[in-house]
Amino acid sequence: MSVSVRHDDFDVGAETRALTGQRTDCGAVASFVGLVRGASDGVSAMTLEHYPGMTERALSAIEAEARTRWTLGEVRIIHRIGRLLPGEQIVFVGVAASHRGEAFAACEFIMDYLKTRAPFWKKEETAAGSRWVDARDADDTAAERWQKS
């Protein structure tokens, strides 16, 4: 399964190895791991919520879009939900491709679109209380560069 939304953590090494398996047609693997920021932002925990079914469809659509842009081997997108503490892993995006340029670009594209098009909601816990995290203009700007002309 190339898309997974779950509570439990993931093993980056195992996920990366699964991208290539016994394949010999992939010359590159690019990956991204997102972590919960904490001390510098005053966050003591973060809770991620989603709509089951809708979220998986959105992630699958993002993967499908990446596949129309680049020739890719395996792709893996994992996003965690529930209450997470600073330093814990939130997201894994891994892409195998024949060449590094495609792997890097597809991985970055998937992450940019995941930040702007996947239906996740984040609530941060701080000493001052809890607050929902608003969408960031910087994320929208990053995703805009992928718009086809």
pLDDT tens digit sequence for 66-104: 999 999 999 999 999 999 999 999 999 999 999 999 999
Report the pLDDT value the prediction gives residue 135, as an integer from 0 to 100. 81
For residue 112, pLDDT beyond 60: yes
Burial of 37 (C-beta count, 10 Å sphere; 0-12/13-18/19+): middle
Residue 100 near residue 28, CB atoms below 8 Å: yes
Domain ranges of the chain: 3-138
Q: Distance (Å, rounded) from C-alpha 78 to C-alpha 10?
A: 8
CA distances (Å), origin 31, targets 10, 14, 17, 18, 125? 13, 12, 11, 12, 28
| Superfamily (CATH) of domain 3-138 | Molybdopterin biosynthesis MoaE subunit (3.90.1170.40)
Strands 43-50 and 120-126: antiparallel
Report the pLDDT value the prediction gives residue 1, as an integer from 0 to 100. 64
Which residue from 149, 74, 139, 134 is spatially nearest to 108, judged by alpha carbons? 139
Burial 63-81 (b: 16+ CB within 10 A, else e): bebbeeebebbbbbbbbbb
CB-hemisphere CA count at 13 Å for 30?
Answer: 16
**Model confidence over 29-73: pLDDT tens digits?**
999 999 998 876 788 999 999 999 999 999 999 999 999 999 999
Lowest mean pLDDT among 14-23, 52-61, 117-126, 137-146: 137-146
Residue 73 near residue 26, CB atoms below 8 Å: yes
The model carries a pTM of 0.92
Q: Distance (Å, rounded) from C-alpha 2 to C-alpha 45?
A: 27
